[in-house]
Amino acid sequence: MALDFMESIMSELNRNLAAGKRSLVEMEESGDYTYKTRDGSVIEVPMDQFMRIWDVCDDPERLRLRLPIYVSTDTSAEYGAWKVEGRTEVSVVSKLLGKHPAREDFLRLYHPDFVELKKLIPDAHMVVFMP
């Protein structure tokens, strides 16, 4: 019962998630640096943020990375934390923050890291709330 309630709350918090994600190359080729959210909003990734990400990526990452980058709650952490999952996403966020991940497909972010990521690419990431 309590889990159903939590899932309902988390679902409401996540209604702003991207409806479709496009790769950096797709955005560059189309000249359209936006993505749509489930609630119908259109989010523009400013050129400085796009280029910040583009510059840390190699060619395969530019093809594989899809924006926005999801950062989710990390309930497995002893203290409150966030996480980035996925090889490409972890590689890119690690380079942006100058961090070394413990695993190539998982990066834990504590508050200072998360604040820095929000400063670097505020429009190119989205927070996902998970129970």
Q: Report pLDDT for 129.
A: 81
How many domains, in total, are found in the chain? Answer: 1
Question: Which structural domain range is residue 19 located in?
Answer: 2-128
Contact between 113 and 75 (Cβ < 8 Å):
no
Amino acid identity of residue 83, one-letter, is K
pLDDT in tens, 117-126: 999 999 999 9
What are the pLDDT digits (tens) for 35-54?
999 888 999 999 999 999 99
Dihedral of CA atoms 10, 11, 13, 14 in degrees, nearest 10, equals: 120
pLDDT of residue 17: 84
pTM of the model: 0.86
Rounded-to-integer distance, Cα 32 and Cα 91, Å: 24
Q: What residue ranges in the chain does DSSP mark as E strands?
A: 22-23, 34-36, 42-44, 66-67, 69-73, 82-85, 106-109, 125-128
CA distance 70 to 49: 15
Residues with pLDDT less than 70, the chain: 1-14, 131
Within a 10 A sphere around the Cβ of 105, how many other Cβ atoms? 13
How high is the pLDDT of residue 79?
Answer: 79
* Whole-number Å distance between alpha carbons of 12 and 91: 30
